[in-house]
Amino acid sequence: MERDVILHKVRTALGRSAGQEPTLPPPARVVIPEAAAEDRVKSFCAALEALAGTALQASSKEEARDYVASLVAGKTAVASNAPFLAECGVTGLAEVRSGINGREELRELCATADFGITSAEYALADTGTLVMLSSPQEARMVSLLPPVHIALLRRERILTGLDELLSLIPLPAEQTSSMVLITGPSRTADIEQILIRGVHGPGQIHVILV
């Protein structure tokens, strides 16, 4: 009885009667602002750095590789199998392990490596967010387990924001088992409202725009 009363009130508020078919939902309101490529780059870098991330605008693939080499020198790193990393020469660095296809081996490497190196499908200029689509080439754990995440991204893959992303990928589940949005280093203030980085993921993030 209580259920019928509640449903009657809901129908009345919606201007519907019992048994009436619901109307179609309104179309999604998607707004994609106009923004020049250079403005997107500047916005992304500013947003990422405001979150304590580091952004580098590399003028060439060689500069991107050299920056990665300076970060991982004398330490250990594991890289995803993204072709763009090989194009930039990152997977050829002595400190970098790549080409790992076995899940258990990859998990062990990611759990012990100092750096995880990936590409990214897109980036969002307004929030400094990386968009990661899980795939055999881009294993999710590479960006999540090591304490430092390095991501290389083509400048033209920077979108204005979430609306533009969803206009390009309206149904992510049809393309990937997991779409992860990474906005700055991992952080939490669950305990006594004290901000701590690196609890649920990398405490540092470097994004190299090529």
Residue 13 lies in a domain: no
For residues 88 and 57, what is the distance between their CA atoms, to the nearest angstrom? 14
Range of the structural domain that residue 144 is part of: 35-209
Total number of residues shown for the chain = 210
C-alpha distances out from residue 80 to 6, 48, 84, 108, Å: 52, 22, 10, 14
Q: How far apart are CA 202 and CA 210, in angstroms?
A: 22
- Residue at 191 is within a domain: yes
Write out residues in the chain with pLDDT < 70, as ranges.
Answer: 1, 187, 189, 191, 194-199
**The predicted structure's pLDDT at residue 128:** 97
Tokens of 23: 């109307």
Whether the Cβ atoms of residue 76 and residue 133 lie closer than 8 Å to each other? no
- Structure tokens that stand for 210 in this block: 């090529």
pLDDT at 197: 67
Residue 85 · residue 119 · CB < 8 Å: yes
State the sign of the Cα–Cα–Cα–Cα dihedral 38, 85, 82, 138: negative
5 assigned to some structural domain: no
For residue 116, being part of any structural domain is answered with yes
Q: Whose CA is closest to 118, among 76, 160, 157, 90?
A: 90
Q: How many domains does the chain have?
A: 1
* Domain assignment of residue 157, yes or no: yes
Tell me if 25 is assigned to some domain.
no
Q: What are the φ and ψ backbone dihedral angles of 209, each rounded to 5 degrees?
A: -95, 120
CATH number of the domain where residue 204 is located: 3.40.50.10420
Residue among 164, 156, 154 nearest 38 (CA): 156
Name the CA radius of gyration of the chain, rounded.
22
What is the predicted pLDDT for the residue at 186? 76
Instruction: Tell me if 122 is assigned to some domain.
Output: yes
Q: Of 151, 128, 189, which is closest to residue 68 (Cα–Cα)? A: 151
Residue 188 structure tokens: 């939490």
Write down the pLDDT at residue 109: 95
* Sheet strands side by side (includes 148-153): 54-57, 204-209, 148-153, 115-119, 77-79, 96-97
**Residue 1: inside a domain, yes or no?**
no
How is residue 154 written in tokens?
């083509």
Give the amino acid at 81: N
